[in-house]
Each structure stands twice: as C-alpha cells, then as structure tokens.
Amino acid sequence: MQKFKYAALDGKGKESQGEVEAENQTAAVAKIREKGLFPTNISEVSAKKQAKPEPQRPAPGMPRAPAAAKGGVLKMDLQMPAFLARVKVKQLTVFTRQLATLIDAGLPLLRGLQILRRQEKNPALQRAVQAMTESIESGSTFAEALAGHPRIFNKLFVNMVKAGEIGGVMDTVLLRLAEFMEKAQRIKTKVVGAMVYPVVVLVLAGLILVFLMTFIVPKFADVFKDLLGGKAMPTLTLVVMKVSQAMTKHMFAFTIGTVALIIILKMLVKTKSGKVGLDRLKLRMPIFGVLVQKTAISRFSRTLGTLMSSGVPVLQALNIVKETSGNEVVARAISVIHDSVKEGENMAPPLASTKVFPPMVVGMVEVGEETGKLPEMLMKIADSYDDDVDSTVQGLTSVIEPILIILLAVIVGTIVIALFLPLIDVIGTLGKSN
C-alpha cells in the first residue's frame, strides 16, 4: 500500500487536505471521492517527503488560498475606474448560464468560478470573479460575494442567488436568471430600436433644415434682389426669407439656448419630481406611451414572477421589483401594493387602485392568488405582454416610416417651392418683355 497526499474541495467549495493509503493513484482518487470530496491535487508521499514535507502546490487552474498581507489582512487590488468596470448584459448572461451548467454538472461553486475566471475576456468581470472566489474562500456566501460588486450584480441577481443557496437549487435559479436577462434585453432592444429610427430621422431633418436656411436660402435672397429689382416677393418666399435671416443672425444665441435647455432638462430629470414628471410623460405620449406601458408591465410581471418562483418572499420581491422597475410612476404604484400586502391584503385590489395596470392584469393576478399559482400567472402575463410589445413595435414602425417621409417632404418641399416662386415671376416677366 502506498500513501498519497491530496488537496480537495467539498460540495460547498471548501478546501481540505489529507492523506490516504491505496494501491495506486487511481484507487486513491476513488477513495477520496467516496468521502464526497473533489480532488484538485494528489501526489505520492515518499520517505524523504515524510521526513520533511514540502509545501503542496495546487494543480494548474485550481483555487488557491488567498495570500494574507502583513498583519494578517487580505490584500486585494481590485479597484477599477468606473468607465472600465462595465459589463454588458450579454456578457453577464453568458457567465450566468455557464456557471449554472457547471454547477448542474456537479462541479463545486469555487471550481466553476475558477474555470470561468480563466476564460473570461472582460477585465471587470474577471476581476470581480477573482474577488468573489477569494471572498467565498474566506467564509462568505455566494450572495454576499456578489453583493460586493453592485455595479455588475444588481439586487435582483443577489437576492435570487440568496434564495437559491437557501433552497439548494442554485443551478435552477441561475438558469432562470439567465433566461430573465435574455428576455429583458431582447424586449429592451426592440423598444430602443423602435424609438431610435424616428429620432435619427428627425435629427437628420433638423440638420438639413438648418443647412438650407443658413447657407442656401441667403444666396437665393441676394439673387432675388437683383432679378426682381425691388418688386415684392411672394408671401411664402418672404416668410422663408425672414426665418432664414433670423436663424443666420441669431445662430450663436440659438445654439447656446439649445445647449442650456438640454442641461436644465438633464438637471431636472435628476430630481425626484422631475423624474416622476418625465416618466409620467413617457406613459402619456400619443404614439410611444402604449409601448412604454406594455414594456413596464412586462418587466414588472417577469421580475416579480421570477423572484417568487425562486423562493424570494413576496414583500422582499416587491421591494426589489420597485428598485428595478425603471419608471418612477410604476415604482410608486409598486410601493402602494407593497404597503397593502404588508397589511395582510391580497395583491389584486391595490394593483387595481393604482390605475397603472390594465384590468386584464389585475384579473389574472386575482386568479393567480385564488389558485395559489401567482408566480406562474405573472410569467404568463409577462409572455403575453412581450408578444404585445413585438406587435406594437412592428405596428409603430409601419406607421412612423410614412409619417416621417411625409414630414421631410413637406419641410424640404416648402422651402423649394418658396425659392422657385420668385423665379417663376421672373421668367414670366422676361417672357412678356420679349
């Protein structure tokens, strides 16, 4: 029988060391696994090593115990500038799904984090994973380690992981998180795409208008003075000329005023009342208000349903949903629901009293509470509104495109007609003289 020295991780990711006797290394690995451990390094103990044991080195890529700095304090240089500490939703989703797969395959949490840290290309996420690994090795839970990186992992992520740790269903919770982020990002991309198109067209139309009024129209004004010889110009041409003169003379003041207005609006939006006013305006916009409302309801339903199905208590889940709603009007409505549920009421009556959620949503929530299947009903609401958002985006795109084309045609056409009316008079005058 030979003696082997090993380092291994248990099911919670805690590292342990020891010795085992076996006929060969394969048998030694089998004995270690029978103890419920996952060996990370194993080596035969020779007579010389028994006399003077050498410090053990982990296998390449295995978790290392954090090195203590002077005074026994763990030294970590993990600070990074804010503009570099950004992780895209897609990168975080891939990381979450891969970690869920590794845990589902039976790997300990620490081993999974180590594997993902080595292959991660985003420096901010890589350093965060390294810090979390060291935090877990020091005795913290996974949720506590995540909470130390609020710029990357929000409260929704942390609380769902906490529920997964308590319930022992970490892989399931991580998969739900990945699916949640994928669906939320897909809806956000569609909504932003629907809003970007008209904004880009309007900006281009504005630039074209400024160019025509400040460079082209003034040149025509000089030409008309010579050709008409003091004769009055058509009314439409005079209006366009006056607007052109005003824009040319006061361009600097107009630019300063526009910049000042944008700055003031940004400062107002940062205040609580300003944000509430802006979010209320978003919900009441003629074309995009319905889209914003449907997106907010979908986000509320999916977030709350995901949290409750993962085992997060309803009051705690409502607080998280309120903080991640993205709309102050919806957040205030959720606060009313939270206070009512805290007093022992059902969720449906306060949901209806806020007048933010349509009767169909209130009815489905009421049925979910009566049948004891509220999380499943919330996910159905979210799926339904996701489909509504898809159809609304397609409808808006088909409606907005011709409207913007007509708007551009009217603006440019008005200027062109105003410039050609005097030319028609000049041509008519020349024809009569001949």
**Confidence at 52, pLDDT banded by 50, 70, 90:** very low
Q: Are residues 355 and 255 in the same domain?
A: yes
Q: Are residues 234 and 311 in the same domain?
A: yes
Residue 389 lies in a domain: yes
Higher pLDDT, 196 or 431: 196
Please tell me the distance from the alpha carbon of residue 220 to that of residue 197, in angstroms, as a whole number: 33
**Domain end: 110, 136, 153, which one?**
153
- pLDDT tens by residue, 54-111: 444 444 333 343 333 333 333 333 444 444 557 888 888 888 888 888 888 888 888 8
Residue 239 lies in a domain: yes
The answer, yes or no, to whether residue 322 has pLDDT greater than 50, is yes
Higher pLDDT, 48 or 405: 405
**Confidence at 377, pLDDT banded by 50, 70, 90:** very high
Average pLDDT for residues 287-314, to the nearest whole number?
A: 85
CATH code: domain of residue 353: 1.20.81.30
Q: Are residues 385 and 346 in the same domain?
A: yes
Residue 83 lies in a domain: no
- How many CB atoms are located within 10 Å of the residue 135 CB? 21
Number of domains, the chain: 3
Residue 58 lies in a domain: no
- pLDDT tens by residue, 351-375: 988 888 889 999 999 999 999 889 8
- pLDDT tens by residue, 1-18: 788 888 776 655 567 788
Q: Are residues 267 and 367 in the same domain?
A: yes
Q: Are residues 264 and 123 in the same domain?
A: no
Closest CA to 46 of 5, 18, 87: 5
- pLDDT tens by residue, 172-201: 888 888 888 888 888 888 777 777 877 888
Q: Are residues 395 and 434 in the same domain?
A: yes
Q: Are residues 380 and 309 in the same domain?
A: yes
pLDDT at 421: 82
Domain of residue 357, residue span = 181-434
Q: At what angle do helices 289-309 and 374-433 cross, to 10 degrees?
A: 160
With 0-12 / 13-18 / 19 or more C-beta atoms within 10 angstroms meaning exposed / middle / buried, residue 53 is exposed
Residue 244 lies in a domain: yes
Q: Are residues 260 and 348 in the same domain?
A: yes
pLDDT at 367: 92
Residue 378 lies in a domain: yes
Q: Are residues 243 and 98 in the same domain?
A: no
Q: Where are the beta strands (DSSP E) in 59-129?
A: none
Residue pair 103/116 in contact by the 8 Å Cβ criterion = no
Residue 285 lies in a domain: yes
**Strand, coil or helix: 324:** coil
Residue 62 lies in a domain: no
Residue pair 174/143 in contact by the 8 Å Cβ criterion = no
Q: Are residues 41 and 111 in the same domain?
A: no
CATH code: domain of residue 18: 3.10.20
Residue pair 347/374 in contact by the 8 Å Cβ criterion = yes
- pLDDT tens by residue, 133-162: 988 888 888 888 898 888 888 888 888 888
- pLDDT tens by residue, 216-249: 888 887 777 777 666 777 888 888 888 888 888 8
pLDDT at 63: 39
Question: Concatenated DSSP letters for 225-259?
Answer: HHHHTTPPPPHHHHHHHHHHHHHHHTHHHHHHHHH
Q: Are residues 149 and 187 in the same domain?
A: no
Query: What percent of the chain clears pLDDT 70, i.e. is strictly above it?
Result: 86
CA dihedral (311, 312, 318, 322) in degrees, to 10, reads -120
The answer, yes or no, to whether residue 250 has pLDDT greater than 50, is yes
Q: Are residues 188 and 139 in the same domain?
A: no
Q: pTM for the complete prediction?
A: 0.61
Q: In the numeric block, which tokens belong to residue 3?
A: 């003696």
Average pLDDT of the chain, as a whole number: 79
